[in-house]
Structure 1
Amino acid sequence: MRDKLKIVTIGGGSSYTPELMEGFIKRYHELPIKEIWLVDIEEGKEKMEIVGNLAQRMWDAAGYPVKVHLTLDRREALKDADFVTTQFRVGRLYARIKDERIPFSYGMLGQETNGAGGIFKAFRTIPVILDIVNDMKELCPNAWLINFTNPSGMVTEAIIKHGKWKKCIGLCNVGVNLMIREPEALGMSQEDCIYRFAGLNHFHWHRVTDKYGNNLKDKIVQKTYEGVDMGVPVNILDIPPEREQQEVMDCIPCGYHRYYYNYDVLYQHGYEEYLRNETRAEMVKKTEDKLFELYKDPNLKEKPKLLEKRGGKNYSNAACECVSAIYNDKRHMMVVSTQNDGAISCLANDSIVEVSAYITGQGAQPIAWGEFQSAERGWLQLMKAMEECTIEAAITGNYGMALQAFMMNPCIISGHNAKQMLDEMLVAHEKYLPQFKDKIQELKAQGVYPKDPVVVDLMKNNL
């Protein structure tokens, strides 16, 4: 690998970009970056210019000779890249608003990466990421692809299994936050704790001991029921699982399991937000608008505190550390989405799983988890099967396979209403679902059209 690095960020106009720049600046002594290319589409040009100017100010203030390039030409940016990071959102936040509001209008949970919203985000994203991979095969065949685009696990599986791009690692900040917050809550340091994670992205469990091998699960669980912040993402209502359920587990579920273990409570909370036009997507849109007003300030030369309200806290600790670990062959332990290769015994070896792994110059080396108990094993196999159906539907545009994914997903109440919701969401996202073109035309001819008033307004404005 070269001693002057070219890093490309696709989705460069994201509000997260200052977080990414901060992470690279902190690691400049171990990552000899020469140039960073921020790439976006025409609709994101203004935001890319705003955040790109801030990114350059951050580098200049740090005193490092790094040039930030801005472009709408992805191929120009990718040529001879060493690392490509992805953080894009097909359809922008308007698509996320549809993903959340339409399910709530059907009496079901609307969420970015779980349930119908997660499936449709995959439908929109996977064809785009595979196009990016095709460009990389031609223009930067030796580059590493570090994916942070959600749903990260499914997108990473599409890249590795279907795009045949092995030099890819998928990332998420959930594990990072847990490994920071849990030791703090116990009055311990991170170095005092030994972690093991296994599962799928936004659907993993972990085990933790102290350095003497003492299991810390019961202490962590107790803190959870005392109402202590244990690193649950800011977008999730922090209602722990039933205590009797938690006590029989030999591992600790991540925050996103609340959507499954406590569906009724989280649904009701989300539905009340929906009625107030305050779904998570709508609130994130307001926060993002404020962030870009801050980013415009020519005197701003650092990541603003408000960005932590956006979600994705410690994003750079995952993305930038992963790049550094590969470049420097650190053999550093991280939680990543990578090929299973036997780490989780109840899933296929070529499945993409989220596990603890050592990050080396050769990529992720997953750490074996061992056996899951019956309940966790059942959940995991169901969710992986649902992911596989979702990925196949995203690639082929097969309506029956999309319906299979809907009927399997635990956050979707299967039956006729689920099919109606699928149809309505296909029409709502027509602009970004060319693989479903024929089916969408058929549905429109039948008079299928979203009913939620906010979604209707977005569609009238071609958003």
Structure 2
Amino acid sequence: MKLTVVGGGSTYTPELIDGFARLRDTLPLQELVLVDPAAERLDLVGGLARRIFARQGHPGRIVTTSDLDAAVDGADAVLLQLRVGGQAAREQDETWPLECGCVGQETTGAGGLAKALRTVPVVLDIAERVRRTNPNAWIVDFTNPVGIVTRALLKEGHKAVGLCNVAIGLQRRFAALLGVSPSDVHLDHVGLNHLTWETGVRLGGPDGEDVLPGLLSDHGDTIAGDLRLPLHLLRLLGVVPSYYLRYYYAHDEVVRELRTKPSRAAEVAAMERQLLQMYGDPALDEKPELLARRGGAYYSEAAVDLAAALLTGAGSPHQVVNTLNDGTLPFLPDDAVIEVQAAVGHKGPSPLPVAPVDPLYAGLMANVTAYEDLALDAALRGGRDRVFKALLAHPLIAQYEYADRLTDRLIAHNREHLAWA
């Protein structure tokens, strides 16, 4: 079995490698290819990756290359984890929206749209090159904004599934609070990527006892602290929102905070410099503790589980993925990409039935889905007017003066990545 990681020079890749090594019985890789145009980073990451495999006794071969076509040739699955423009572009995504009083964030709001515009054309080019040589290969997208990128891939007919680590992180967190194994916890998880709610937490599977009310009663302070949302709000709603919902439920508070501290991109860039120094140490043969602060917790376990289910049928029977709505949520278009529990196998994901969604959440999902329609149109066809319409549709913006100013800033900061600008 061959798996290719596009963006393999990421400082986060050793987390993925560690998961592949630990879970080799679930996903028996013979060859793992890391492809990245940044040769120096790739050499450092590739060297550590081989040492991690060797330390844990993984027999697979790790190959590093900058040749994308060679990297994807013969791959059974291709994992996308790229960042067009690097941390420098992320730094801009997180700062210029604040000038207009809007959240600066890399996956939602104006910054999220900028990332989508940079990313979608690149991802579609990669996917087309995969299809030319491996029409049956699965594409697993971890590249943000996952919902829009996955929708672009599916719109073009690619065998694609979107993956996010929010659900698996909450599953692990709830399992620890309950004192049970993560495999015993099934989430009633519904929404769009980075716009999700846990409406139930069940023990033993989709039909198990819902222990969410008890979690909120016994551990509400802890959960609210993790999300940085007030406990009375969680108890009033009776659900656990993703921490990304704080950008919506406490927008102005978040903007004030972001204006008073360094950007997350600046923090990550500093961490990356430290991590790359560590990776160059030939004695290092495990992921360093610092990597846990880099973000993306449990990503490797989610990726192994999904790839195993798609390729061998050995993964968990139910997994949270990003896939076509296709009637699952009747208030959204069939071609919307939703993030829900699904049965996953060789034929791909099949969403499990979802209970009727409260209008409080359904309305926001419908609004953001409409934004994603317009964002994808702007990413595929370009043009200032399309960018403006997408920004005006976004619930975190939704005012024409803001949308107008943000449009000019977005184009100015991303011109080198926009073929039409």
Q: Same fold (TM over 0.5)?
A: yes
User: Is 1:97 matched up with 2:91?
Assistant: yes
1:239 aligned partner: 228
Computed over aligned residues only, the root mean square deviation of the Cα atoms, in angstroms, reads 1.9
Shift of 1:392: 0.8
Question: Judging changes above 3 Å, is the alpha-carbon distance between structure 1 residues 190 and 320 closer, same or farther for their aligned structure 2 residues?
Answer: closer
Shift of 1:224: 6.0
Shift of 1:378: 0.5
Partners of 1:19 and 1:230 in 2: how far apart? 27
1:250-289 to structure 2, matched below 5 A, reads 251-273=239-261, 278-289=262-273
Partners of 1:323 and 1:392 in 2: how far apart? 29
2:282 to 287, 298, 302: 298
1:43-192 to structure 2, matched below 5 A, reads 44-161=38-155, 163-165=156-158, 167-192=159-184
Shift of 1:40: 1.2
Shift of 1:359: 1.5
1:458 aligned partner: none
Structure 1, unpaired ranges of 5+: 233-237, 438-463
2:31 aligned partner: 35
Partners of 2:35 and 2:395 in 1: how far apart? 36
User: Is 1:425 matched up with 2:410?
Assistant: yes
Shift of 1:192: 4.4
CA contact (8 A) 2:22 2:56 kept: no
Residues 289-338 of structure 1: per-residue CA shift (max 9 Å, x gap): 11111111101111111111011011101111111122221352111101
Relative to structure 2, which stretch is displaced further, 26-35 or 94-103? 26-35
**Paired residue type of 1:155:** V
1:447 aligned partner: none
CA contact (8 A) 1:291 1:307 kept: yes
CA contact (8 A) 1:198 1:344 kept: no
Relative to structure 2, which stretch is displaced further, 320-329 or 147-156? 320-329
Shift of 1:415: 2.5
CA contact (8 A) 1:179 1:190 kept: yes
Relative to structure 2, which stretch is displaced further, 250-259 or 137-146? 250-259
Question: Judging changes above 3 Å, is the alpha-carbon distance between structure 1 residues 346 and 250 closer, same or farther for their aligned structure 2 residues?
Answer: farther
Partner SS, residue 297 of structure 1: coil
**Paired residue type of 1:253:** P
Compute the TM-score of the two structures, normalised by the length of structure 2: 0.94
Relative to structure 2, which stretch is displaced further, 302-311 or 62-71? 62-71
Structure 2, unpaired ranges of 5+: none
1:313 aligned partner: 297
Shift of 1:190: 3.2
Shift of 1:381: 0.2
Residues 273-303 of structure 1: per-residue CA shift (max 9 Å, x gap): 1xxxx11111111111111111111011111
CA contact (8 A) 2:7 2:35 kept: yes
Shift of 1:88: 0.3
Relative to structure 2, which stretch is displaced further, 113-122 or 62-71? 62-71
Partners of 1:250 and 1:425 in 2: how far apart? 37
1:328 aligned partner: 312
Shift of 1:90: 0.1
Q: How many residues align?
A: 417
**Paired residue type of 1:263:** H
Shift of 1:241: 4.9
User: Is 1:358 matched up with 2:346?
Assistant: no
Shift of 1:213: 4.7
Partner SS, residue 108 of structure 1: coil
2:18 aligned partner: 22
Q: State percent identity of aligned pairs.
A: 35
Compute the TM-score of the two structures, normalised by the length of structure 1: 0.86
Question: Judging changes above 3 Å, is the alpha-carbon distance between structure 1 residues 223 and 107 closer, same or farther for their aligned structure 2 residues?
Answer: farther
Relative to structure 2, which stretch is displaced further, 376-385 or 392-401? 392-401
Residues 384-411 of structure 1: per-residue CA shift (max 9 Å, x gap): 1101110110010032221111112122
**Paired residue type of 1:62:** Q
Partners of 1:417 and 1:74 in 2: how far apart? 40
